[in-house]
Structures are given as structure tokens and as C-alpha cells.
Amino acid sequence: MNSREQLRMLILAVLERQPEHGYAIAQAIKNRSEGLLTAREGTLYPALHALEAEELIESSEHDAGGRTRREYRLTEKGHKALQKTRGDWHKKIQAVNAVLGGEL
């Protein structure tokens, strides 16, 4: 899984809990990974647009304190894609651990 695919998986996982705007998605990725993973604006927004084009997420605009914010939410298709991606990711983790000789 390349870094683009990983970012897509992380975005879907963040949106599984609740709808979020772009900055909050980036912060959730950083906070949940204890700072080990980041989603920079230059990669986050193109990934969000691609996920929306694939109908894995949808967005709507909301007024927040005089500012318009775009909020993203997972679609049913996105939930299914996340479940599949999670399964694939766990298989890869098990394969790497088997090679390394570590425990899962």
C-alpha cells in the first residue's frame, strides 16, 4: 500500500466516527497517531476531492462563525470501502510480522 492509499484509508477511518472539515481530519490523523502520521494540505485536499469523486465521501458547506466550512462525511459506499481496506491492511501487517518474526 503506497502513501496515497494509506492517506485515503486514514481519511475514511477518521470520517467513520463523525463528519469533519479538512483541518479537523488532518488534526485527527496527527493526534490519533501521536504525531507519527500527518496529512499536509497539499495531499489532504486532493485526496478528499478524489474520494468525493468516487462517491466514498460527500461534502456540504456550513456557516461556522461567519466562515463557510466544507464538512465531509462517509457514504455507505465509503463504509464498505473502509471495511475492505481494513481487511487488506491487517493481512499485510500479518505478512510483514511473519517475515520479521514478530508477534501481531
> How far is 55 from 77, CA to CA, in rounded Å?
7
Kindly give the confidence (pLDDT) of every residue in the chain, 104 residues in length, as a single tens digit, with 9 standing for 90 and above.
788 899 999 999 999 999 999 999 999 999 999 999 999 989 999 999 999 999 999 999 988 888 899 999 999 999 999 999 999 999 999 999 999 986 65
Domains and CATH numbers, the chain: 3-100 (1.10.10.10)
User: Do 93 and 104 form a contact (C-beta atoms < 8 A)?
Assistant: yes
Predicted local distance difference test score (pLDDT) of residue 102 = 62
Helix (H, G, I), strand (E, B) or coil at 86: helix
Neighbours of 15 (CB within 10 A): 25
Sequence-distant (6+) residues with CB within 8 A of 40 are 26
Predicted local distance difference test score (pLDDT) of residue 103 = 61
